[in-house]
Amino acid sequence: MILPLTIGVLVTAGVYLLTRRSMVRAVFGIGLLSHAANLLILTAGVTSFREEPIAGRVDPALAADPLPQAFVLTAIVITLAVMVLMLTMAVIGHDDDLRRAPEVGETPDS
């Protein structure tokens, strides 16, 4: 029960943060959501502790399902890249957290 509950809490918190105006908060929201997604992938395999899935060393009946782990690994890498990109956007566009458009010298609607 702990995993579903954790996923639920993470999604709730992620969605709440996403509704905030500030980019940094939204980035954290996305981070929490992708943690939830990763945990969801893990629940798709068997969640209790299993032997490491290495062919020839472990009885396949005792080994963990390697596929969800590979999925999570890939997803984590992608999330990391996206987080870096979004945090960069949050930094370089810091002024547009405000309701007022930043003074950049260009007309707002050309």
The residues that touch another protein, with contacts defined as CB under 8 A, are: 18, 23, 26, 30, 33-34, 36-37, 40-41, 43-45, 67-68, 71, 74-75, 78, 81-82, 85-86, 89, 92-93, 96, 101-102, 104-110
Tokens standing for residue 109: 């609607």
The CB-of-103 to another protein minimum distance in angstroms stands at 9
CA distances (Å), 30 to each of 23, 89, 93, in order? 10, 14, 18
In angstroms and rounded to an integer, the radius of gyration of the C-alpha atoms of the chain is 20
Match 């899935």 to its residue by tokens.
53
Nearer to another protein by Cβ, of 12 and 93: the residue is 93
Cβ(86)–Cβ(29) below 8 Å: no
The CB-of-51 to another protein minimum distance in angstroms stands at 19
The CB-of-102 to another protein minimum distance in angstroms stands at 6
